[in-house]
Structure 1
């Protein structure tokens, strides 16, 4: 699972990033900025952990922006505040945050809260197996089966399929897919997405012509939701 971690304290970023990665999360750290909402929309992380100084006005504004955008309305948000005032915490929660903790929270408690939040909002994210139609992907074993036949995929195609299987039916632009695979590496051309989509199609087609992965003209690609 991909966690977007936005915090201005470098020491805290290192501490939380290490704790999250130890638990198997992929962490994208960044410094908080006005472009954070756009970053969330383009990256579509499985959760956002956002550190904000008191009184939390930036967190309130960010949460409202995320919740009014259909693309980010369901992204789980955990806010870390410097303030210990109950009113600040309630204001952030009222603006749309799913949880609000003090910045001095122990990494262990943050991990527990985050895991419980993800389990409650989207249980499929914590499953080790994804199933869409007749395609089964095992995250731990790094194996894919279709119609009970094992499919050999390269690491990039595996990650691409896993990303698409989390939200079958949703259309992703080339930019969104490139970001999901390579982050903000500007050296990767969007045409690389077409190459890997082609390889993925050939891999999961079992030698047949089907439309498991749809091309939506002018929009991008989507995994059929059967």
Structure 2
């Protein structure tokens, strides 16, 4: 795969302005990244800006806390798809995981995956690993292996920690070839990206994409 296509070029800050999103999309166009990843309010705008490219638009759902409930996540997902999102990154309910409510975790994953796959759109499940034990990460990955969303993802970038090699390996080892892994959160250098890819990640979420690609090209 072409190096630049590993990236979801990301801007998810609360203070995002039109100027920020214009810059994000322009950079994604020039670099030909896999996608731009934005909050739902910007999906239609980005879709229009990127209409003559193969850069996808990715939207986050239940972001960044994952505790808005399944009905809200389902509604958000449908709205984002209606606005033109090609992929959905949703945050699972970490509280359910901590309480061992894995039936709920699975139901949510199945429901949202079904909504996306019915429209031939991609879906990624954000685990927020910084709050989970290794056993909990493995259990969530086992559920994903069964449900088959497109990706499982390490982090929102808004938690107490981001992507770590050990977690990426654990996730990939658990899902095998049935599901892909996205590493995101605190990735700022080519060296870090290289490690994540070697550990099994096939997508990288980063806001530092431009600097990372420049480093790679050197």
TM-score, normalised by the number of residues in structure 1: 0.34
Higher RCO structure (Cα 8 Å, ≥6 apart):
2
TM-score, normalised by the number of residues in structure 2: 0.35
The structure number with the bigger radius of gyration is 1
